[in-house]
Every structure is written in C-alpha cells, then in structure tokens.
C-alpha cells in the first residue's frame, strides 16, 4: 500500500526549548528573538505617534494621555529595554559574525554583560527623563 503523498510522514521531532536546562547563552539567544518580535509592536507605537502628530492636537493629546498612564510608561519602559537589549546583544552577534568571542567563558561573560548593560541603559533613560534631564528639545 502506497503512502498518502499529501499526508506528511510522522517523523521524530528534534527536542524543543522545554527539554533543555537554560545556559546563559541560550537565554540570551531566545530573548534576542523575543525582543525582536516585541519591537515590531514598538514600531507600531512609533508609527502611531508620528500619525498622531500629523493628525492634529486631538490625536496627539490622546496618544500622550495614554503614554503618560502607569501602564503606558510600563509599556514604554518595556520597549526601551527591548531596544537596548536587541541593540547591545546585536552588537555581540555582529562580533560573533566577525569571529570574535566564541569561547564558552567569553560568551557567558558577554551574555551577562548584555543583561546588565541593557537594564542600565533602559533604567538610565527613564531615570534621566523622570528626574528632568530630558526635554532638552523644548
């Protein structure tokens, strides 16, 4: 009896994320992807901001009103951290592309550095904004 060519054969699957313990390099890798997908939402909000600015005061005030709420600030902090993480870890990836930093110890260390640096960058931007260091384009 011939196999049905339209039905994919049942083949063994390679194990997925859930079966592994989480070395730091694996965490940085999957979080790079997750922040990348999340930043697609960030681009949506950025475009929303530009459209609101072009659309007039009502649209713009509505956007700023939402952004100023606690939830809005939390979401914006999430985008800031995601961008910082994707930027810093992206530079780590570009170094790998050039052949640098592949030793396990080095990759672990730069991985921790990416977490620390991205959190510092995002927290730094928000600390600067809330303490009045921002707004220099008034």
Residues that bind other proteins (CB under 8 A): 33, 36-37, 39-40, 43-44, 46-47, 50-51, 53-55, 57, 60-61, 64, 80, 83, 87, 90-91, 93-94, 97, 125, 128-129, 133-138
Q: DSSP for 101-119, please give it.
A: S-SHHHHHHHHHHHHHHHH
Cα distance between residue 41 and residue 57, in whole Å: 24
Q: Which is nearer to other proteins, 80 or 114 (CB)?
A: 80
Q: Which is nearer to other proteins, 36 or 78 (CB)?
A: 36
Least separation in angstroms between residue 2's CB and other proteins is: 22
Q: Which is nearer to other proteins, 62 or 106 (CB)?
A: 62
Q: Crossing angle for the helix pair 104-130 and 70-97, nearest 10 degrees?
A: 150
Most distant pair of Cα atoms in the chain: their distance? 77
């Amino acid at each position: 009896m011939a196999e049905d060519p339209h039905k994919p054969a049942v083949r063994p699957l390679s194990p997925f994320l859930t079966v592994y313990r989480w070395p730091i390099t694996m965490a940085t890798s999957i979080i790079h992807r997750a922040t990348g997908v999340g930043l697609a939402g960030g681009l949506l909000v950025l475009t929303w901001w530009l459209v609101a600015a072009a659309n007039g005061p009502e649209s713009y005030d509505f956007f700023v009103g939402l952004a100023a709420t606690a939830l809005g600030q939390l979401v914006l902090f999430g985008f800031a951290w995601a961008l910082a993480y994707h930027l810093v870890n992206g530079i780590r990836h570009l170094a790998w592309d050039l052949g640098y930093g592949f030793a396990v110890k080095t990759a672990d260390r730069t991985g921790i550095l990416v977490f620390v640096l991205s959190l510092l960058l995002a927290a730094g931007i928000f600390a600067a904004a809330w303490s009045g260091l921002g707004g220099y384009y008034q």
